[in-house]
Amino acid sequence: MIIAITALKGGVGKTTTAVHLAAYFQSLAPTLLIDSDKNRSALVWSKEDKLPFYVASQAGAPGLIKKFTHIIIDTPARPEPEELEDLAGGSDMLILPTTPNHLDLDTTVKAVELLRKLDANYKVLLTKVDSRTKNSRDAKSFLEEAKLPLFKTEIPLLVAFQRSPSRGVVVQDYPDRRAKIGWNRYKDVGKEISEIMA
Ligand SMILES: Nc1ncnc2c1ncn2[C@@H]1O[C@H](COP(=O)(O)OP(=O)(O)OP(=O)(O)O)[C@@H](O)[C@H]1O
Ligand SMILES: [Mg+2]
């Protein structure tokens, strides 16, 4: 299965989502994370070899792909519409992370308008959800009103997500008592994907 993580906006949790979904799918079958962002964020994260799956650059990926059952693609911020089209055509599913922030939601609606025309298989994932505010409920109603397909699972805003890249580890390997909560949510997203694709 090929899953691309994309958004028209930067900083919405694409790389964090790509890394943790790769960890989930690796627990099921060999999984390759392709870092197609020229900032190489996922490659930098994997530099110390502490991630439980293999990460390749886009240039390094072609020879490797056939060895893996699942491919997760992390994409750059602000893709051109043509790039979105290529991604939609080349993957089984697109995941669009968005924070509950109004501008991010607005950009997500624009991305979906593009994808609808392409007949793509996509789903929106709410990320960086702060349980202390009611912005997630507002975001959910906004997305439901706009009739966007949304994962039931939301990703909470956790310090452990911010800090795990600097240690080169996935969140579940970061020493923080709330890290497990974050990992369980990504596992739940992984299970939702498996159900959709079954
Ligand atoms: N659930 C979360 N809780 C707290 N911080 C988070 C969460 N998800 C991501 N972050 C932090 O937010 C920032 C942006 O996340 P990330 O790099 O995953 O987004 P991105 O969409 O890949 O960004 P870019 O467009 O720059 O590639 C990072 O500092 C990351 O650690
Ligand atoms: Mg990124």
In a domain, 14, yes or no: yes
Measured between alpha carbons, how far is 162 from 28 in angstroms, rounded to an integer?
26
How confident is the model at residue 177, as a pLDDT? 95
Number of domains in the chain: 1
- Asked if residue 158 has its Cβ within 6 Å of ligand 1, the reply is yes
Three-state DSSP state, 22: helix
15 lines ligand 1 (CB under 6 A): yes
Q: How far apart are CA 138 and CA 45, in angstroms?
A: 33
- Ligand 1 atom nearest the C-alpha of 76 is 27
CA of 16 to the centre of ligand 1 (A): 6
69 in a structural domain: yes
Classify residue 47: in a domain, yes or no: yes
183 in contact with ligand 1, CB cutoff 6 A:
no
pTM of the model: 0.98
**Half-sphere exposure for 9 (CA within 13 Å, toward CB):** 20
Task: Tell me what pLDDT residue 134 has.
Answer: 84
What is the residue range of 98's domain?
A: 6-197
Amino acid 45: pLDDT: 98
Phi first, then psi, for residue 184 (nearest 5°) are: -60, -35
Q: Is residue 87 part of a domain?
A: yes
User: Is 18 a domain residue?
Assistant: yes
Q: Evaluate whether residue 151 is within a structural domain.
A: yes
Which of 162, 169, 183 to probe ligand 1 with, by most ligand atoms within 8 A of CB?
Answer: 162
Residue 135 sits in a domain whose CATH number is 3.40.50.300
Q: Which residues pair with 95 in a beta bridge?
A: 5, 123
* pLDDT given at position 131: 85
For the chain, 198 residues long, give each residue's pLDDT as a single digit of tens: 999 999 999 999 999 999 999 999 999 999 999 999 999 999 999 999 999 999 999 999 999 999 999 999 999 988 888 899 999 999 999 999 999 999 999 999 999 999 999 989 999 999 999 988 888 889 999 999 999 999 999 999 999 999 999 999 999 999 999 999 999 999 999 999 999 999
C-alpha 89 chain-centroid distance: 18
Mutating to test ligand 1, I would choose from 6, 9, 15, 74 the residue with most ligand atoms within 8 A of its C-beta, which is 15
Q: Is there a domain that residue 1 lies in?
A: no
Nearest CA to ligand 1 atom 16: 13
> Each residue of 109-122: b (16+ CB within 10 Å) or e?
bebbebbeeeebeb
